Amino acid sequence: MTGLSEPPALGTPMLPPGTFEGKVVVVTGGGTGLGKAIGAEFARLGATVVVASRDPEHREKGVAAMNAAGGKGFGIAVDVRSPEAIAAAFDEIEKECGPIDVLVNNAAGNFPVLAEKMSPNAWRAVTDIVLDGTFFCSTELARRAIASGREAAILNIGATYSWTGGPGTAHSAAAKAGVTNMTMSLAVEWAPYGIRVNCLAPGLFPHDDLPSVLRDKNNRSEEQDAARVPAGRVGRPHELGWIATYMCSPFASYLSGHTAVLDGANWLRRGLRMPDFVPVYEQFNFEKDS
């Protein structure tokens, strides 16, 4: 059994060159990991890619990645939990780069914690960024696009535990489920204005920027990670870039309200004959109270 084959190499063109020439693409959290990889594919297709996040070092690395991919990188400081900060950042982007054509709501926070030990602050630390931040950025863009009569595309980055729940990460799973659901509401509300809203749910996509709190405590190798997935391999971040650019491109102009799952069939492999159940505190090496 060989599993699913590796994709073409990073940098291989999928859409016609210049598909996003003259377009302004904002990627929240575009300075690290998957956001950076997604932004780079827009940049490769000619976009001005705005890296919108809090940490100046992240933004600097993101802008360098967009420039290296052949686009134009632009960094903007923003905390997506603040509607006022988003409005100010969008003003600045419009002034420096022009009106926004594509918004990728990628920013997120996450950390494993037992639900019964999760403080209200811990809950809000994740839901404020993932659910509220996605809504605030999306509505800010939509108000501007509706007022100016310009078309736009929004891509939310979700997760497959939207449908399964996420034991050990109840805050993130609930927030991502909200994002998946909100994608459908906004798609219907805004299609009459030419605004498309879609969602992309990645599976297992390890990358070097992953915060230590999310790295597997058992330090599994890539081969061991690959054994977790029916595809027999983990995802490559540029594969997300390809599907993200397609979903926001004119080739997908009839696609709205959709959540695409890119996970090598991993989340579907549930059944009555699962491997032995491992309680959450054991999976994450947490202390058990009693």
Question: Residue 121, class by beta-carbon neighbours within 10 Å (0-12 exposed, 13-18 middle, 19+ buried)?
Answer: exposed
Catalytic residue flag (residue 254): no
Contact between 33 and ligand NAP by CB under 6 A: the answer reads yes
Among 202, 229, 249, 261, binds ligand NAP (CB under 6 A): 202
The residue of the chain with the least Cβ separation from ligand NAP equals: 33
Pairwise CA distance, residues 151 & 111, whole Å = 36
Pairwise CA distance, residues 240 & 26, whole Å = 16
Contact between 210 and ligand NAP by CB under 6 A: the answer reads yes
Backbone angles phi, psi at 4, to 5 degrees: -85, 140
Pairwise CA distance, residues 203 & 201, whole Å = 7
For residue 248, give every residue at least 6 positions away whose Cβ sits within 8 Å of its Cβ, in sequence order, or none: 25, 42, 102, 104, 153, 155, 196, 198
Nearer to ligand NAP, 114 or 204 (CB): 204
36-55: which residues touch ligand NAP (CB under 6 A)?
53-55
Among 14, 19, 24, 28, binds ligand NAP (CB under 6 A): 28
Among 65, 159, 170, 248, binds ligand NAP (CB under 6 A): 159
Contact between 35 and ligand NAP by CB under 6 A: the answer reads yes
Q: Tokens 């690395």 — which residue?
A: 61
Site for ligand NAP, rule CB under 6 A: 28-29, 31-35, 53-55, 58, 78-81, 106-109, 129, 157, 159, 202, 204-205, 209-211
Q: Please list the active-site residues.
A: 161
